[in-house]
Amino acid sequence: MTVLTDLSEWEGLETDLEAILTDVLSSILGEEVLPAWEPAPPGEQALTRLAIHDLRGDGYVEIEILVPMALAKVVAARMLGVAQPLDDDIVDAVAELGNIAGGNVKSVLFEHSRLSLPLPRFELSGGETDRHPEGLVARAAVNGLVAELAVYPVAAALGLQWPPHPETDSDMESAQ
C-alpha cells in the first residue's frame, strides 16, 4: 500500500476543490455561492466523511464536508422538497452532498478508484482552522454561511464502509 503524503503533486487541486464546492452548492441551492477564505464560526455543524481508494497505487484520500447547521437545513429542504427538514433528512442530505462532491473529487484525482459510502454526523465545532494541516481545504459562502470541503491523505480509511466493487471484491462472486 502506498500512503499519499503530499497532495501538491495535483497541480491546481485547490482551485478544483473550490470549483467543486461552489458548483455543487450552487446547483443544489439555486443561489450564488462564492469562494470564502475564513473558516466557519464555531457552532453546530453537519459533517460527512468519505474516502477515495486509489486502486492503482493502493493509497487513500479522505474527504470531509462541513456545513453549518443553518445551511445544512436549507440544503436538506431544497434537496428533499420539505419545509422543515428533520435531523434524519439533514443527515441524508449532507451524506448526498458528500457523494456528489466526493464523486467529483474522485474524478479529478484518480482514473481507477472507488468511493466509500458517506459517514454523516452532527458535531459541535470549536472553529478549528487546521483540522487537517496535511490536506487542502476549500471554503464557499452562501448567504454569509461558510461550508468547507477538505481533502487529505490517510494511511487507511478507518470506520468507513465500501460498496461492492468487481475489481476488488472477487470473493463476492464465489459467495453467491
Q: Which CATH class is domain 7-163?
A: alpha beta
Amino acid at 23: D
pLDDT at 168: 57
What DSSP element (H or E) covers 115?
A: strand 113-115
Low pLDDT (below 50) residues in the chain: 1-5, 171-176
Buried b (16+ CB within 10 A) or exposed e, 32-56: ebeebeebbeeeebbbbbbbbbbee
Q: What is the pLDDT of residue 2?
A: 42
CB of 146 closer than 8 Å to CB of 137 = no
Evaluate whether 125 touches 147 at the Cβ level (below 8 Å): no
- Domain positions in the chain: 7-163
